Chain A
Amino acid sequence: MASIHLQNIEKKYGAFVGVQNMSLEIADEEFLVLLGPSGCGKTTTMRMIAGLEVPTDGQIVIGGEVVTDIDARDRDVAMVFQGYALYPNMSIYENIRFPLRMRGIPASEHDARIRRAADMVELGAYLDRKPGALSGGQRQRAALARAVVRQPQVFLMDEPLSNLDAKLRQSMRVQIKHMQRQLRVTTVYVTHDQIEAMTLADRIVIMNKGAIQQVGSPDEIYSDPANTFVAGFIGSPPMNLIDGVAQDGHFVAPGVSVACPAHVRGKVTLGVRPEDCSVGGESAQGMVYGVEPTGDVTYLTVLAGTKKIEVKAARAYRSDIDVPVGITFNPAHLYFFDDQGQRIRGAA
């Protein structure tokens, strides 16, 4: 059980900056998700916490102890890898036992702890199999058991579900969250999947190009995005971002015209989520570009000017293409961003 402090850490590979001047406080027992597109520095950040990469600059503190110069094997940290990283020559039992052996835990305790860990991930019946004889989901559960068995201070999970199919991913997600709550171990979880981030996290850290874009609870990230990157990254389909001009309390873009707060002026970007748009009305005018029924909702794409606007329409909505259509934006959920992409908040 430990909190983690990242103090101004930086990672450079030659001239390339992997992670720039990052500071982050992760509370004890917190489930923190690092979310971002590939190459944004999230995995590098995690590997620095693990001790597999040495930061170029800055300090890492785990449980009150500065660990920047401590080798990976001496930081009490367990990691689950994307590719499972099980030892192929050992049985699942021996795989789970390996960290106990390496850390000199008395042999008399091994069996009980291994069985407890295996039961936690429902793998008790497969202990004498080799990893090669297990399915992808079972392997990942074995990797979880190996991480759990030595009761580390910190769990690190590097896209643990991305090699699994969609259905398995959902059930593993629940299992991971349940386990984290049960064990109350500080967890850092890396993913590029926003659904995983939203469902698992206590707090989400959104990263892009090596820098933190926003830190917040899933609700905050979703309903109060700090900039256009966060707004466009979260949500499925993501927020509509429409470039236009605001003047005298009115925002105008090709095919779009809505009221806006008086302090919003000049070249701005309007953000509106598909679920805050409804068919019929005056906010935007355009032609139907496509209709995608998914079963529980229907996604409508409208071409307004040159911009495609996504609308979450009623389940039964159907239309042919190239039919004129009007859209209403919910005025309570409009977001405005300045020409740097930063959110314009409050009255100024």
Chain B
Amino acid sequence: MSRPDCSWATAKPYRSDPMGPDLSQVPAQGVAQAAPDRRGTLPRRRSPLLRKAFPYLLLAPAMVYLLAITLYPGLFAIYQSLFVVKFLTWTWTGFGNYSAILQDREFWAALGNTALIGAISLSLQTAIALALAYFAYRDPLIRGWRIVFLMPMLFMPSAVAFIWKLAFNDGRVISDLLGRLGLIEGNLDWLGSIWLARLTLIVADVWQWTPFLFIIFVAALQGQDQEIEEAARLDGASWPAIFWNVSLPMMRPVIVVAVTLRGIDITTMFTNVYVMTQGSPGGATETMSYFIYRQGFRMFNFGYASAASVLMLILTVVIAQTVVKRAFHSGKQ
């Protein structure tokens, strides 16, 4: 360095004591730095054992709570399913309940009803939600008012079920509306026909849960790269062509997850059945959950009901696993 006037030397001279040495002559590196004051705080030490256990201790309250309300009842149900239970009398039967269930026509009917009502309801709400989302996602109004579209699913399921019960059956609101439109004459007996009764369950479920899928699909579409859609437009694609060739394939993973969640929910559909139809007419609307409820709490075959719920759990897990795995596997290629 050829510069004679280093900044520390030209800076205002600092003197701690008018009679003391002129500190401005001391090179900067030579001035002792005050050591940080550590008095009064001893470094804290933890035993290695505690350090290792600490994360688990933090997780423990939540884990205990979760295990208590899910794992314990689950294991208890599996255990109970091996017995014929009449209140306090437990008689060992091994897989007796299971073999009885597999020969029970009502069980197979309930399984069929669940699959049928669930499949129709799920396809309808997916299609409606996709169409609405695709038409609406560019609209700034919808971006701002998303929460309004969530309203139906924020209501208490049992309250919604009672409203639909009033609308279809007790209050005859729907029949009245259809009558005024001139579509039907008189009053429709919604519980008198197998398909009409199933339809009421489907309508109620679609009304309440389409918003769930809609909101997820809107988010997925808004997250898509705008440039890709514009590129497709310039490539000459019409709106439907863009949807089928570009947007929909890109949404696939989101659709699979959303539909799986909804599918699991629909498989365990209970509230609407309990409130609106109670399985009538003639068990045509009895779902798996309602079948289990009827076996357990109406007929008090607790072992039988437990066995049915174990079967249902296995079925749900297997289907959900297969669907998700397959969808994501093929998406990666």
Contact = CB atoms under 8 A, between A and B. Distances in A.
Contacts of B230: 50, 52, 72, 79, 81, 85
A86 B250 CA distance: 12
A320 interface: yes
A85 B227 CA distance: 6
B327 to A, nearest CB: 13
Contact of B235 (A71, A98, A320, A322): A98
Nearest to B5: A322
A102 B237 contact: yes
Interface string B231-244: 11111111001000
A204 to B, nearest CB: 24
Nearest to B224: A88
B250 A88 contact: yes
B21 interface: no
Contacts of A50: 230, 234
Interface in A42-99: 50-52, 71-74, 77-79, 81-83, 85-90, 98-99
Specify the main secondary structure of chain A where it touches its partner: loop
A50 B237 CA distance: 14
Nearest to A50: B234
Contact of B232 (A78, A98, A320): A98
B3 A322 contact: yes
B249 interface: yes
Specify the main secondary structure of chain B where it touches its partner: helix
B127 interface: no
B234 A103 contact: no
Nearest to B241: A102
B231 A73 contact: no
Nearest to A132: B332
Given A73-B238, A322-B3, A79 B250 contact: no
Given A87-B246, A88-B250, A89-B249, A77 B228 contact: no
A273 interface: no
A52 B233 contact: yes
B2 interface: yes
Given A320-B2, A322-B3, A73 B249 contact: no
A85 B225 contact: yes
Interface in A247-263: none
A81 B225 CA distance: 11
A146 interface: yes
B233 A73 contact: yes
Contacts of A146: 231, 235
Interface residues of A, number: 28
B24 interface: no
B231 A81 contact: yes
B161 to A, nearest CB: 40
B245 interface: yes
A85 B241 CA distance: 16
Contacts of A89: 246, 249-250, 252
Given A83-B225, A87-B245, A320-B2, A73 B250 contact: no
Contacts of B2: 320
Q: Which 7 interchain pairs have the tightest Cβ spacing?
A: A89-B249, A85-B231, A99-B235, A102-B236, A85-B227, A103-B236, A102-B237
Given A81-B227, A87-B249, 5 more contacts: A50-B230, A85-B231, A86-B228, A89-B246, A320-B2
Interface of B: 2-3, 225, 227-228, 230-238, 241, 245-246, 249-250, 252, 333
29 contacts: A50-B230, A72-B233, A73-B236, A73-B237, A73-B238, A74-B236, A79-B230, A82-B227, A83-B225, A83-B227, A85-B227, A86-B231, A87-B228, A87-B245, A87-B246, A89-B246, A89-B252, A98-B235, A98-B237, A99-B235, A102-B235, A102-B236, A102-B241, A103-B235, A103-B236, A130-B333, A146-B235, A150-B235, A322-B3
